[in-house]
Structure 1
């Protein structure tokens, strides 16, 4: 299919039609369901760089999810879809057959490819109409662990996702004896359109962990505060019209949490003999859920982040944001089972599996921890260069702690600095209207901060400050232009956006072809946002330098955080740039990036 550029109106028509079809389908009268329905989690494996390519069949299907019938979107009859393998240096050939009564799509998350193969309806192609076939064909220019998913409506929430593994053309620097796919996700038996409507209608609809009179004693015990201190703290949050338990929009109140399509009591088993080096390729394919992953009693060595090899880091636990991938290597020291435990960030549930020498084995399931609460540090409350109040310096990264007033766009002929970047910026006088009801006084780097609810157990927890590229990525150079981008939101109305604007209200962001560009993201909200740029790598400033800072396709921006990425604009066309929390993206936290010849120009036609 030829590359065609799309207007916002055309995009809205395309996505609205898909959403309406999904809504009507899922709200049809309930039908009798056969008792022999297939179980979720029975997926296969395909090689997309084989000479004949592969075929994927997208359709609605009744599946057993956690023992109950759910109406899912399956890929080749399964949720997740099949593991798709490719080999670096070859061409991928994938025929997608749409058997749904609505348009669909597949986005190859983190893959560098021509923009008209990227799979975003209304941005890079028109979508795959009902009953039709679309052929994806592109050269494979990288290796590592990635994933794929629908970019149409809420199809991703209904099971339209799977893992993607690309074998390196040369020897793999990671040493392992066996590998396993681990796809984390969230599932609801509710219609996703109802979930979205609930979020828009009632603030905190799925949050049943809010501070109340009934749990005030629990908070006193958890924090060690006296009654008056707890009441004062609650009144302070109420005065800001904020809730310190706003950790997750959608929780275990409606979600079932899955590992490879299976709920916790179904316990998927990964066979491993003592002494073997086992590589776990872990993908967070959730719509909304962050997971804290650990194997009690067993250290993990992180060897890849977002498909890119990093210098190995041994840790006990890591938080994986929506759309991120981490590869870890583990080794069983003895002939017994160990629990692979993925606890949700808000502690409302968990997914789990078992590493064991034999089928049928299991290990103890850890007791769930108290749900975390946000602090003044998450509001960027700073005084005299330190965090205000009892929260101390929580989340401040080490370094010079230089600060500055926030600039707007800035150009530097000789190149911008690439190490020892400023540690914090003041918000400045600009507001972002009713679409942003929180603005941290100061945004600061939180590279050493593991996230709310982590780091207090005595365990080692992975942070971005520990990520270092195994080798210097090619063509990396200092950027010559930078701009600041605010992540904004209004929880009361469930409006999300960039710089106070929803996608429907905003202009395209322009990258000049060939430039090296810096984006300083400032999170003005109290929620973490996994931000994904299509088609180009983001080089994350993690406290290192041009040689060592890691490359990522998705970066998690924590509350009140200043997070910096550098981008080489080497991919002509139009690309999506968005929060990967599905309901945040649909509510407006999405922009179109146009790679242009001149900054005031239109997108470069990739076929021209």
Structure 2
């Protein structure tokens, strides 16, 4: 009996090792897109086959279950051409329903890939065909919109080639940021519901830092901690670039004098990244796949689901591509090198970020508001609109929310080098000028202690029969008010909106995802010209799963509806 158990253990170990060695697509190994070949993890053409299945993933010392597409994590690069038609045939080999959402692509709503909103999902053993024309170019990505599969590896990049070639670069790379944890996503969700600080090992102690006693008492009264930056941290996450952990020595090759385009995608479940290449300036040329006027920076924050394209001209040598988690609990690392086999030394992690009064919505135009009565004012719901549901899902109100479009991101407001801000972005091509038909405000709400998240105090399950309604071709100015102390990347499916960021109306930048800073507001102009039902949600996966999602309906107003 003992020998049988030993043989079984050996077989299991061999099988586990084999399963851990998932094939790595050429694009994910750092192959330039101009050199990557079909069959090496890059798919193109009018008919594309994708297969979703269970796998095992390992990076460094961490290993666990994964959901792989075509046998790899991340899944294949889908490379398309502006103006083509595509049929994406997706087979689900999981024991549960699945789906694929084409993040940022303009598609008919029935092919948007959101179960319960635009289609029923793909059942186990079934095959579903998405078919649509490609109406744009740029850098995008795809991911599951079923359960928590995205956390487990069900995601990959999309590159849509422009009909007009871009002569500004010599090499072209995808840099897909994500994270891996051996803990099952549903177990992470359970732990967050038990205690929202479960994964945070950087909580500020009673004696740490320069905070006054009165300030400490105030934080204590609010049952909050100024180090509550990220829900899930490097304590369980390994941060990945193209599926490679920091120990994997991922390298992107270049020759001295070349201009290199990096298509940076935040395909993570929960992590904001601060991206930099120490000593190498980056010229931002696109945001969320849309061209912007060139702006040179040394670092930028990229929220979950955002994309930025940058061009760099690195000097001869090896340079670290650093994607540091916003809470500074870890980083993804790769080398941009002109010497094969040379690894760049990444910088050390910076000091943990500490929230400020501005992140609590407690700053007036003259500076910090008086501390007296702060706790009461942050729980005073009397000034909220009548359509905001006040209850256990709402435990905080920003007393004085201000436009924070000029804020570079938590932890980046004190660095000495140039950091990208939304106010730096200007559309490269002129937008049609239209007056706004109406304005609306949507509150981002939550109870951090109970891990409840919502829009206007209403969880998604409570608002499915009460969608946000836009008339077809109506132009609406939407202001998002963040009543929580966490940054939220808010994504609208099926549309691009124009950030109201100080640019003139003809050059407001187009985006599909916007970070709404803690205690602040962000505003965009939306022309609702894509008919159908669309998801609108926070792209922090566990926030969406906990209720921060609604449905946006775009259709002609019927008689008597009005705007």
**Same fold? TM cut 0.5:** yes
Q: Which residue of 2 aligns with 1:479?
A: 436
Matches within 5 A, 1:418-429: none
Pairing partner for 2:90 from 85, 96, 119: 96
Pairing partner for 1:54 from 25, 43, 48: 48
Q: Is 1:326 aligned to 2:308, yes or no? A: yes
Inter-partner Cα distance in structure 2 for 1:370 and 1:135:
48
Inter-partner Cα distance in structure 2 for 1:100 and 1:431:
38
Q: Is 1:168 aligned to 2:159, yes or no? A: no
Q: Which residue of 1 aligns with 2:358?
A: 377
Q: Is 1:196 aligned to 2:184, yes or no? A: no
Matches within 5 A, 1:322-401: 322-334=304-316, 336-383=317-364, 385-388=366-369
Q: Is 1:242 aligned to 2:224, yes or no? A: yes
The Cα of 1:362 is off from its aligned counterpart by 1.1
Shift in CA distance, 481/146, structure 1 to aligned 2, threshold 3 Å: same
The Cα of 1:387 is off from its aligned counterpart by 3.1
- Which stretch has the larger CA shift, 453-462 or 77-86? 453-462
CA deviations on 1:505-527 (whole Å, 9 max, x unpaired) are: 12211111121111111000000
Pairing partner for 2:531 from 560, 572, 575: 572
Q: Which residue of 2 aligns with 1:556?
A: 515
Q: Is 1:185 aligned to 2:181, yes or no? A: no
The Cα of 1:45 is off from its aligned counterpart by 3.9
CA deviations on 1:224-279 (whole Å, 9 max, x unpaired) are: x3xxx533321121122221111001111111111110101112100011110000
Quote the RMSD (CA, aligned, Å): 2.0
Q: Which residue of 2 aligns with 1:20?
A: none
Inter-partner Cα distance in structure 2 for 1:295 and 1:383:
36
Contact 2:23 2:71 in 1 (8 A): no
Inter-partner Cα distance in structure 2 for 1:165 and 1:601:
44
Instruction: Count residues with an aligned counterpart.
Output: 522
Pairing partner for 2:474 from 501, 506, 515: 515
Inter-partner Cα distance in structure 1 for 2:495 and 2:23:
31
Shift in CA distance, 161/345, structure 1 to aligned 2, threshold 3 Å: same
- Structure 2: state its 5+ residue gaps: 1-10, 26-39, 372-382
TM-score, structure 1 normalization: 0.83
The Cα of 1:504 is off from its aligned counterpart by 1.1
CA deviations on 1:547-604 (whole Å, 9 max, x unpaired) are: 11100010000012121111111111111000000000000000011112216899xx
Q: Which residue of 2 aligns with 1:265?
A: 247
Pairing partner for 2:409 from 416, 433, 451: 451
- Structure 1: state its 5+ residue gaps: 1-29, 220-224, 391-425, 603-608
Q: Which residue of 1 aligns with 2:457?
A: 500
